[in-house]
Amino acid sequence: PRYETYLYLKHSLHGTSPVTTFGPKACMLQNPHAVMHIQDPASQRLTWNKPPKSVLVIKKIQDASLLQPFKELCVFLTEKNMIVYVERKVLADPVIQADESFAAVIQKFCTFREDLDDISNRVDFIICLGGDGTLLYASSLFQKSVPPVMSFHLGSLGFLTPFNFDTYQSQVTQIIEGNAAIILRSRLRVVKESREKNARVDKKGIIMTKGDSEGSRKAMQYQVLNEVVVDRGPFSYLSNVDLFLDGHLITTVQGDGVIVSTPTGSTAYAVAAGASMIHPNVPAIMITPICPHSLSFRPIVVPAGVELKIMLSRDSRNTAWVSFDGRKRQEICHGDNITITTSCFPVPSICFQDPVNDWFESLAQCLHWNVRKKQNYLSSKEDVF
């Protein structure tokens, strides 16, 4: 509610912007429903419409090593007269409850419960303490506009957490003052439609109902930062799901499953399944099969503006299962469908340096990308052959 992202367009991420007129009379039809505009990632800066007053602190649950950093950060924020929001289950930790010196700080907190309390219009920015999972969890709390997120590396991998906690005071102060680069991490808008138990499916996969067709379907919506995973679940048979792109059947996935990921998610499960790594500023959706029973089924990248739909194949021997950023795992039955598009609500992730340097630093430090012992220098006296 209090922030904006200033985008100073110096040049397109893809180089010179192409012309949209062709010859004397032809031109490209302008689409008012464009998903996003391509900006120079180095030009994305955070600024505040009004000074920030509230902050949500997310701590990894059941991690004793984070208790001291959590307390230090909360004391620092309250001393700056910030309104601190903390999830109620975090304060239920017996160690926190037993700390009498921290009791006065706890009384100043505003608490909330996941899936029960709406804090979307109360929080100015978010601070995550933990690993990459804390950022994914923060994303799940906001189904529409997401406040800027500052992530401290206090977990195991830390690909999405660029800040070290050693200098948290100066780093947080810079954010409050509005001096920070920002990267917009696109999310997927996922709608899962399920048929009710009183409906049946005919041989062609069409849902048959006894009453109002609208009342026979149940729809759930999710905002996904990393990936949607459809797999075969506990069954021994191959997963057999149909994949549609803008209403056209493009292929049937036969294997352990399929991963539909954002560019941010391309360095998670997708890269373990053989996909390429995509910079978060690239507007795209990646489709990666999981152990496909085909030597030619390779991962593909499609434009961010397409609509994907996943359905259980009519002749599938068993059902499938789906999860959203590793959570909300549920079964996919015949007649169910999953629609995936690029969300218009990205996650504004605060950078340590800038979007490009932070990403390559994470590749090098976390995934050891292209780490190799260097070839020895060949002196002029040595024989080339």
Query: Would you please indicate which residues are annotated as catalytic (active-site) residues?
Result: 132
**Contacts of residue 16, Cβ cutoff 8 Å, sequence gap at least 6:** none
Q: Environment class of residue 251 by beta-carbon count within 10 Å: exposed (0-12), middle (13-18) or buried (19+)?
A: middle
Q: Are 71 and 104 in contact (CB under 8 A)?
A: no
Rounded Cα–Cα distance for residues 314 and 318 (Å): 10
Output Rg (C-alpha) for the chain, integer angstroms. Answer: 24
